[in-house]
Structure 1
């Protein structure tokens, strides 16, 4: 970890930019308060064996682990364009075509994780901070599986939420500490897509935990203004953040529908351009 530059801090630890075998990579540390637990350390090492096998253009590539006795450190590819959170904070809302293209990137990465055999990976902490952009402009999902390691069924009192606003994206059943499955990621995905069209959380003035409480116990959902959200996107989001987890679509279904929406938006742009040419 010599010549390491701190580039970020997440719910589970710090992120450093380091040189590894002559290449810039991200070194992610797991907080000592978490890593010191033997159960967590064992879970981490088991998870690493799985991460090594993962290959998909829309998930951040795991590279290896640094074995240090006092802490857990793993290496991933370094994506210098930053996170979706950074983008939305700098640029505000995205145009519909870009938002849908980004949504497809996230959905494809998540679908890969959910369809892994013999055991699927549930992210559990899908947020704009955990979606990074590569140099080609595509999005990649990162930090999948970390909350599973950190939780360990909350056997030592660690909550999966951290200080990075994860509460805002938390499915009601997770907040209520009920049993849950893959559809918790679909719920989080819907809120991320909502933010891409809006430019950020609609309720950013409210404390994240208060938002999660309202979502879980008052069935609160963000407003879907017709002048911002295309009708097909509104319908999809309502299904994805449905209070009944069994009513939420799978990521494969989401991909199929987003591809059609993306094609429709592209057609409208082409027709609009042609009409403009005819007017001229």
Structure 2
């Protein structure tokens, strides 16, 4: 099928059209540069049958497929249509494939077909935390309860502890945000979309991808290249997780690191213009506010050094926690 949406320009009404269509049936735009998607019923590698399109973006789509080699189990098939992203797509698959953690998706296969790259993954039902935030905003509901959010934080911290302890190279996600955390109907969280992932090589910590593809509100300053001599490391993921928790607890994201540093005249040694979360939601405990403010420090040395320490700071003295079902 053709989608009325051009990846290069991100323009179009996003409606689906037949493969033979030259103009969009819905808005009349020409479909010469439109995104081409697989059709339900298409079979790849003689065993992965497409059942539906889950979503699509500038680098391709995600499909729900039936895996004939595994009793028609439902899987997610992630697609990459950009040849320039092939190397990073391979890194993502190679990093994920050996991982085995309840809060991370499993990867089963990687292959190329029709000049497109594919990754077969565990299908994660439910919705993203971004969708949870948006739904609560539409319904004029208050932010999530603190204990619920801490329960979420503990799960993701466990995943980060696992990733950051990988040998021989720790794994840095580098794109933690509400859209990349899914919650299942049973309340289990999965950290997904490792499209910006990197293995941390302490002998050569630099990366050439810096700000490419990041989401400003959740990205730490070192990911923008704003701190001389500093590169992303486990503390970068801690910053992004804290920004996500801040958003869940207040209903609004924190000021971006870029704005915070620009607001200080580019200096890192003055007081941070970060709105304390309790001023937005007085139901947040002082303990959690302190933990978030520390984790969101502009300079990496001022943050928690490990996800384990962030988890301890958030959960210390809290009420009995449970994995909450999505609402």
TM-score per shorter chain, which class? 0.7 to 0.9
TM-aligned CA distance change 1:213 to 1:244, over 3 Å: closer
1:276 match: none
Q: Given that residues 79 and 135 in structure 1 are in contact (C-alpha distance below 8 angstroms), is that contact kept between their aligned partners in structure 2?
A: no
- Structure 1 residue aligned with 2:116: 71
Asked whether 1:228 is paired with 2:287, we answer: no
Shift, 1:42, TM fit? 4.1
CA contact (8 A) 2:172 2:237 kept: yes
* 2:196 is the alignment partner of 1:146: yes
Q: Indicate if the aligned counterparts of 1:62 and 1:75 stay in contact, CA closer than 8 A.
A: yes
Aligned pairs (5 A) from 1:136-215? 136-144=186-194, 146-148=196-198, 153-154=208-209, 159-161=212-214, 166-176=215-225, 178=227, 179-180=230-231, 181-201=233-253, 211-215=256-260
The structure with higher relative contact order (CA 8 Å, sep 6+) is 1
Q: Distance in 2 between matches of 1:229 and 1:75?
A: 40
Any runs of at least 4 consecutive aligned residues in structure 1 with deviations exceeding 4 A, and if so which?
A: none
Once the two structures are overlaid, the 10-residue window that deviates more, 99-108 or 168-177, is 168-177
Bigger Rg, which one: 2
Residue of structure 2 equivalent to 1:257: 313
TM-score (norm 1): 0.78
**When you count strand as a share of all residues, which structure comes out higher?**
2
Q: Can you give the 5+ residue segments of structure 2 that lack an aligned partner in the other structure? A: 1-37, 41-49, 138-142, 200-205, 264-271, 322-327
Asked if the contact 2:260–2:274 (Cα under 8 Å) also holds between the matched residues in 1, the reply is yes
Partner of 2:325: none
3-state SS, counterpart of residue 157 of structure 2:
helix
Q: What are structure 1's unaligned runs of at least 5 residues?
A: 204-210, 268-280
Q: Does the CA-based 8 Å contact 1:121-1:145 persist in structure 2?
A: no
* Matched position secondary structure for 1:239: helix
| Structure 2 counterparts to residues 1-280 of structure 1, below 5 A | 2-3=39-40, 4=50, 5-9=52-56, 12-21=59-68, 22-32=72-82, 36-37=83-84, 40-92=85-137, 93-144=143-194, 146-148=196-198, 153-154=208-209, 159-161=212-214, 166-176=215-225, 178=227, 179-180=230-231, 181-201=233-253, 211-218=256-263, 219-225=272-278, 227-249=282-304, 250-261=306-317, 264-266=318-320
Structure 2 counterpart SS, 1:45: helix
How many residues are treated as equivalent by the alignment? Answer: 246
